[in-house]
């Protein structure tokens, strides 16, 4: 019964694709097109299920006078064994930025209110247009509340995501914060904080030392504008051993629906050089990994909108695969994508490169929305994905009737792998939402390329927010998940091998409890 219906849905999709393909090729005009000789050296594959993390307690602040050229070294993550970007053998094969990003997008030391307070009182370049109003609100609340709301401004929107990179080469990863919020005719600009120390789980002392001046971080001595960095990836795109950053810009989600280019921050001896990777496009669901195992990181761009007046009045474009040349340039390579992965009708809201079947080649996960199915496309070993070689991720889809968007938990917000050492079983996991409402953890036992049924989906109605950000709480195997809400409060789940499900361990509100010098910050002009 379900099999027949599934065939029916696939057939409808195929029909839609044949119509949309003809008109959907205009989006990717403006990529850098330098191509290079492909270096096809083979080397050891990275096993994401066997990572090692150094003890956070071992890390102490060190001061040094490293030259500027040592900034942002990728080698400050020795726990990712075999993946050191400064390794002479350059073992890039099959690398995904997924795990690196997970580590660098770490929100365990993310002092939410201090960031907010410093953004408003100290970071005058950010570009808030109703600054006095916001200041007086924050003053009244001692910088400890975030619910100011006028007709189009919401403080909690402002702090959207962060990346931890050692900016000044002192051995302690600092924090770049990507802000979200529409201000007159511009998005906000970023902020970057110098950190004093890293993860000390018991401490509530603020990890922030001060704001970086823009010339300490960016080559052009300006903080870049950023509208919507919901999907951030870190990887060494120009292969100089230093961490680079890519974010796809999701634009502004309310009128006037402004759209902006997606950006690369490429390392240089003068700090990050900011480049537009795309023309202004509203992009959702990007992923980074070396899909064709040539040693260079590549980028997949999911749902793409080139023009939007309103949700019902917009021009969608097809997703794009960009092949990297290892020097920070990319060219379009959609011939490697399956038809579904390069069709706007798939409504790709989430994507990830991950070696799900463990054959050493990165598979491509695309997550649809509103009843569109989500898939894993298996890499054929040559970087090619096709519609015949895939698995449907068995979430709840529209099976009958005419349900509305958001009736089922089928909008993927995060994916992960779980290696259950007790039973030696491997699982593919997802968190999914009802179109960004609610959160459900799903687990599918992996048997080669077969996905088992959804094990004990948990929880349903209990958690109102969706999984905005996720970490592995120190264990990349995914046996302990930390799921962050919009305010970066964390809910921790632990996998119970005997029950084969995740159990909620508790809440971690530390990001709201950090002590910081409010009076000193608020005294600034
Ligand atoms: Ca530092
Ligand atoms: Ca680099
Ligand atoms: Ca590549
Ligand atoms: Ca694979």
Q: Report how far residue 342's alpha carbon sits from residue 260's, in angstroms, rounded to the nearest whole number.
A: 21
For residue range 328-374, list pLDDT tens digits in order: 999 999 999 999 999 999 999 999 999 999 888 999 999 998 889 99
The residue count for the chain: 525
- Three-class secondary structure of residue 511 per DSSP: helix
Helix (H, G, I), strand (E, B) or coil at 482: strand
Residue 99 pLDDT exceeds 70: yes
What's the confidence (pLDDT) of residue 183? Answer: 80
* Separation CA 31–CA 444 (nearest Å): 37
Ligand 1 is an ion; residues with CB less than 5 A from it: 166, 168, 170, 172, 174
Residue 59 has a pLDDT of 34
Å from CA of 265 to ligand 2 middle: 9
So what's the pLDDT on residue 2? 36
Q: How far is the CA of 286 from the centre of ligand 4 (A)?
A: 19
Residue 71: band (very low, low, confident or very high) from pLDDT cuts 50, 70, 90 = very low
> How does residue 50 score in pLDDT terms, banded at 50, 70 and 90?
very low
Q: What is the pLDDT of residue 87?
A: 36
Angle at alpha carbon of residue 372, lines to 314 and 5, rounded to 5°: 135
Distance 383 CA to ligand 4 centre (A): 10
Q: What is the DSSP letter of 172?
A: S
Cα(385) to centroid(ligand 4), Å: 11
Cα(491) to ligand 1 centroid in Å equals 28
Q: How far is the CA of 495 from the centre of ligand 1 (A)?
A: 34
Per-residue model confidence as pLDDT tens digits over 134-184: 999 999 999 999 888 776 677 888 999 999 988 988 878 899 999 998 887
Please tell me the distance between residue 272's alpha carbon and the centre of ligand 2 in angstroms.
Answer: 9
Supply the pLDDT for residue 94: 55
pLDDT at 307 over 70: yes
Q: Which helix (H) or strand (E) holds 114?
A: helix 112-121
Residue 127 has pLDDT above 70, yes or no: yes
CB atoms within 10 A of CB 184: 8
Q: Work out the percent of the chain whose per-residue pLDDT is above 70.
A: 77
Centroid of ligand 4 to alpha carbon of 277 (angstroms): 27
Whether cis (ω within 30° of 0) applies to the bond prior to 459 is yes
| Partners of 492 in the β-ladder | 482, 506
Which band of pLDDT confidence, cut at 50, 70 and 90, is reported for residue 477?
Answer: low
Please give the mean pLDDT across all residues of the chain.
80
Q: Is the pLDDT of residue 493 over 60?
A: yes
* Residues, CB-to-ion distance under 5 Å, ligand 2: 236, 238, 240, 242, 244, 267
Which comes out higher in pLDDT, residue 423 or 458? 423
Q: Which pLDDT score, from 0 to 100, does residue 200 have? A: 66
Ligand nearest to the CA of 289: 3
The pTM of this model reads 0.83
């Amino acid at each position: 019964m379900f099999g027949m219906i599934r065939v029916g849905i696939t057939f409808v999709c195929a029909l839609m694709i044949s119509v949309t393909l003809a008109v959907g090729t205009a989006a990717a005009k403006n990529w850098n097109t330098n191509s290079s000789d492909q270096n096809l050296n083979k080397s050891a594959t990275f096993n994401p299920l066997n990572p090692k993390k150094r003890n956070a307690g071992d890390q102490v602040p060190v001061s040094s006078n490293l030259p500027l050229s040592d900034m942002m070294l990728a080698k400050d993550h020795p726990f990712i064994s075999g993946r050191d970007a400064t390794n002479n053998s350059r073992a890039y094969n099959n690398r995904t930025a997924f795990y690196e990003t997970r580590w660098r997008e770490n929100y365990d030391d993310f002092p939410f209110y201090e960031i907010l307070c410093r953004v408003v009182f100290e970071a005058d370049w950010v570009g808030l247009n109703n600054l006095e109003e916001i200041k007086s609100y924050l003053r009244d609340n001692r910088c400890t509340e975030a619910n100011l709301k006028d007709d189009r401004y919401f403080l909690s929107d402002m702090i959207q995501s962060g990346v931890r990179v050692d900016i000044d080469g002192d051995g302690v990863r600092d924090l770049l914060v990507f802000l979200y919020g529409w201000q007159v005719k511009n998005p906000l600009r970023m902020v970057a904080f110098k950190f004093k120390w890293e993860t000390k789980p018991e401490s509530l002392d603020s990890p922030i030392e001060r704001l970086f001046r823009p010339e300490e971080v960016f080559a052009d001595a300006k903080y870049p504008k950023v509208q919507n960095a919901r999907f951030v990836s870190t990887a060494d795109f120009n292969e100089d051993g230093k961490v680079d950053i890519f974010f796809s810009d999701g634009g502004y989600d309310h009128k006037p629906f402004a759209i902006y280019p997606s950006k690369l921050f490429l390392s240089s001896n003068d700090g990050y050089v900011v480049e537009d990777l795309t023309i202004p496009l509203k992009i959702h669901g990007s992923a980074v990994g070396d899909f064709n195992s040539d040693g260079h990181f590549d980028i997949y761009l999911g749902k793409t909108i080139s023009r939007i007046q309103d949700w019902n009045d917009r021009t969608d474009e097809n997703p794009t695969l960009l092949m990297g040349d290892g020097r920070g340039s990319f060219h379009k390579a959609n011939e490697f994508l399956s038809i579904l992965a390069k069709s706007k009708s798939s409504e790709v809201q989430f994507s990830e490169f991950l070696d799900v079947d463990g054959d050493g080649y990165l598979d491509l996960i695309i997550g649809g929305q509103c009843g569109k199915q989500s898939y894993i496309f298996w890499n054929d070993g040559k970087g090619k994905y096709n519609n015949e070689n895939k698995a449907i991720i068995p979430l709840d889809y529209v099976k009958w009737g005419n349900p509305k968007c958001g009736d089922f938990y089928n909008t993927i917000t995060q994916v992960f792998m779980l290696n259950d050492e007790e039973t030696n079983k491997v699982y593919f996991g997802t968190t999914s939402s009802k179109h960004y409402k609610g959160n459900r953890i799903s687990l599918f036992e992996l048997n080669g390329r077969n996905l088992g049924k959804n094990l004990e989906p948990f929880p349903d109605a209990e958690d109102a927010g969706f999984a905005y950000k996720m970490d592995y709480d120190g264990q990349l195997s995914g046996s302990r998940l930390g799921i962050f809400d919009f305010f970066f409060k964390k809910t921790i789940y632990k996998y119970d091998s005997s029950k084969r499900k995740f159990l909620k361990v508790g809440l971690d509100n530390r990001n709201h409890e950090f002590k910081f010098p409010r009076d000193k910050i608020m005294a600034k002009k």
